[in-house]
Amino acid sequence: MSSSPYFFRREPCPYCGGGPLIFISCPSCRATLAWCGEEDHAVGRYDGKDLRDLGLGNIREWAHESCPVCKGTEMRHSTAEEVSGLGFTSSEVLNNS
């Protein structure tokens, strides 16, 4: 993935309890996902500021070369506009640039 990632500051990953949640997006369907930076897997899809289950079963087997929502193009780090478009403020996210 290219560009600098945005991290969710407010709480730890609900899957592993530790690692940071990274915002990633699909350029094809515009889905924004939470990616666990510690366990390296998708955690869920954002619907506004709410994190929804992806319903993928064992998501560790999902290869992040394609979007798990539309099966389209390669995922990338979310932009500042995409993160703020979900309703997150600069106090809730950290840019790793």
Task: Tell me how far apart the alpha carbons of residues 24 and 30 are, in angstroms, rounded to a whole number.
Answer: 10
Question: 3-state class of 67 per DSSP?
Answer: coil
Per-residue pLDDT 10s for the chain (97 aa) are 556 787 777 667 877 888 788 888 998 998 888 888 887 777 888 888 888 776 655 455 555 567 878 888 778 889 989 999 989 888 888 887 6
Which ranges constitute the DSSP H helices of the chain? 80-85
Q: What does the domain layout of the chain look like in residue ranges?
A: 6-89
Provide the CB-side half-sphere exposure for 34 (13 A, CA). Answer: 29
Task: Tell me how far apart the alpha carbons of residues 96 and 47 are, in angstroms, rounded to a whole number.
Answer: 23
